[in-house]
Chain A
Amino acid sequence: MSDVVTIKNVIEEAYDTKTFVFDWDAEARPGQFIMIWVPGIDEIPMSISGISENTKSVTVKAIGEATRKIHELVPGDRMRIRGPYGNGFDLDCGEKLIIGGGVGTAAIMPAVKATGADTIIAARSDKDVIMEDIASASAENVWIATDDGSLGFHGNAVQLMKEKVAQKHYDCVLACGPEVMLYFTYKACEELGLRCQLSMERYMKCGAGVCGCCVMDDSRICRDGPVFDNEKIAKLTEFGVSKRDECGRTVKFR
Chain B
Amino acid sequence: MVSLKTEVGGVILERPGMVASGIMDETGPSMVRMLENGAGAVVTKSVGLTPNAGHANPCFMEVTSGYVNAMGLPNPGIELFKEEMDVAVPKGKIVGSVYGATPEDFSSLAGRMEDYGACAVELNLSCPHAKGYGMEVGTDPAMVKAIVSSVKDAVSIPVWAKLTPNTHILADIGRAVQDAGGDAVVAINTLKAMVISPEFARPVLSNKFGGLSGAAVKPVGVRAIYDLRTVLDIPLIGVGGISDWRDAAEYIMAGASAFQVGSAIGTVGIDVFDRINKGLEQFMSDYGYSSISSMVGVAHE
Interface residue B223 (Cβ < 8 Å from any Cβ of A) = no
Interface residue A76 (Cβ < 8 Å from any Cβ of B) = no
Cα-based distance from A188 to B58 in the complex (angstroms): 38
Is the Cβ of B56 less than 8 Å from the Cβ of A209?
A: no
Interface residue A2 (Cβ < 8 Å from any Cβ of B) = yes
Is the Cβ of A80 less than 8 Å from the Cβ of B197?
A: yes
Interface residue B12 (Cβ < 8 Å from any Cβ of A) = no
Between A and B, 18 residue pairs with Cβ closer than 8 Å are A2-B61, A35-B58, A78-B199, A78-B200, A205-B71, A208-B60, A208-B67, A211-B24, A212-B24, A212-B27, A218-B27, A218-B32, A247-B54, A247-B74, A247-B76, A248-B75, A249-B76, A249-B80
- The size of the chain B interface, using a CB distance under 8 A, is 42
Closest to A206 in B: B60
Interface residue A43 (Cβ < 8 Å from any Cβ of B) = yes
Residues of B within 8 A of A213 (CB): 26, 74
Closest chain-B Cβ to A234's Cβ sits at a distance in Å of 15
Besides A210-B262, A210-B265, A210-B266, 7 other CB < 8 A contacts? Answer: A2-B62, A42-B57, A42-B58, A218-B32, A244-B26, A244-B27, A247-B75
Interface residue B204 (Cβ < 8 Å from any Cβ of A) = yes
Contact of A4 with B32 at beta-carbon distance under 8 Å, contacts A208-B60, A209-B265 already known: no
Residues of A within 8 A of B83 (CB): 250
Cα-based distance from A86 to B263 in the complex (angstroms): 17
Is the Cβ of A211 less than 8 Å from the Cβ of B71?
A: yes
Interface residue A37 (Cβ < 8 Å from any Cβ of B) = yes
Interface residue A207 (Cβ < 8 Å from any Cβ of B) = yes
Interface residue B51 (Cβ < 8 Å from any Cβ of A) = yes
Interface residue B93 (Cβ < 8 Å from any Cβ of A) = no
Closest to B213 in A: A210
**Chain A, interface residues (CB within 8 Å), range:** 20 to 34
Is the Cβ of B26 less than 8 Å from the Cβ of A37?
A: no
> When the two chains form the complex, which single residue of A37, A78, A82, A248 contacts B62, counting CB atoms closer than 8 Å?
A82
Please classify the interface of chain A as helix (H, G, I), strand (E, B), loop, or mixed, using the class held by over half of its residues.
Answer: loop
Residues of B within 8 A of A244 (CB): 26-27
Q: Mark B45-62, 1 if CB is under 8 A from A, else 0.
A: 100000111101111111
Interface residue B103 (Cβ < 8 Å from any Cβ of A) = no
Q: Mark B19-38, 1 if CB is under 8 A from A, else 0.
A: 00011111101101100000
Closest chain-A Cβ to B225's Cβ sits at a distance in Å of 23
Cα-based distance from A39 to B199 in the complex (angstroms): 11
Residues of A within 8 A of B149 (CB): none
Please classify the interface of chain B as helix (H, G, I), strand (E, B), loop, or mixed, using the class held by over half of its residues.
Answer: loop
Interface residue A148 (Cβ < 8 Å from any Cβ of B) = no
Is the Cβ of A82 less than 8 Å from the Cβ of B61?
A: yes
Interface residue A11 (Cβ < 8 Å from any Cβ of B) = no
Contact of A215 with B76 at beta-carbon distance under 8 Å, contacts A205-B57, A210-B263, A246-B53 already known: no
Closest chain-A Cβ to B190's Cβ sits at a distance in Å of 12
Interface residue A1 (Cβ < 8 Å from any Cβ of B) = yes
Interface residue A62 (Cβ < 8 Å from any Cβ of B) = no
Most interface-central of A78, A80, A218, A249 (chain B CB within 10 A): A218
> When the two chains form the complex, which single residue of A2, A43, A210, A218 contacts B23, counting CB atoms closer than 8 Å?
A210
Residues of A within 8 A of B131 (CB): none
Cα-based distance from A35 to B204 in the complex (angstroms): 13
> When the two chains form the complex, which single residue of A1, A209, A215 contacts B27, counting CB atoms closer than 8 Å?
A215
Interface residue A217 (Cβ < 8 Å from any Cβ of B) = yes
Residues of B within 8 A of A249 (CB): 51, 76, 80
Cα-based distance from A39 to B30 in the complex (angstroms): 31
Cα-based distance from A175 to B22 in the complex (angstroms): 32
Is the Cβ of A246 less than 8 Å from the Cβ of B54?
A: yes
Cα-based distance from A244 to B32 in the complex (angstroms): 17
Closest chain-B Cβ to A23's Cβ sits at a distance in Å of 14
Residues of A within 8 A of B202 (CB): 39-40
Residues of B within 8 A of A37 (CB): 58, 197, 200, 204
Interface residue A44 (Cβ < 8 Å from any Cβ of B) = yes
Interface residue B77 (Cβ < 8 Å from any Cβ of A) = yes
Residues of B within 8 A of A247 (CB): 51-54, 74-77
Pick the 5 closest A-B CB pairs, nearest first: A210-B266, A43-B58, A246-B53, A43-B57, A218-B29
Is the Cβ of B200 less than 8 Å from the Cβ of A80?
A: yes
Interface residue B69 (Cβ < 8 Å from any Cβ of A) = yes
Closest chain-A Cβ to B266's Cβ sits at a distance in Å of 4
Interface residues of A in 196-254 (CB under 8 A from B): 205-213, 215, 217-218, 220, 223, 244-250
Is the Cβ of A205 less than 8 Å from the Cβ of B59?
A: yes
Interface residues of B in 77-111 (CB under 8 A from A): 77, 80, 83
Contact of A205 with B54 at beta-carbon distance under 8 Å, contacts A2-B62, A37-B204, A210-B60 already known: yes
Residues of B within 8 A of A1 (CB): 62
Closest chain-B Cβ to A171's Cβ sits at a distance in Å of 29
Q: Mark A23-37, 1 if CB is under 8 A from B, else 0.
A: 000000000000101
Closest to A223 in B: B266
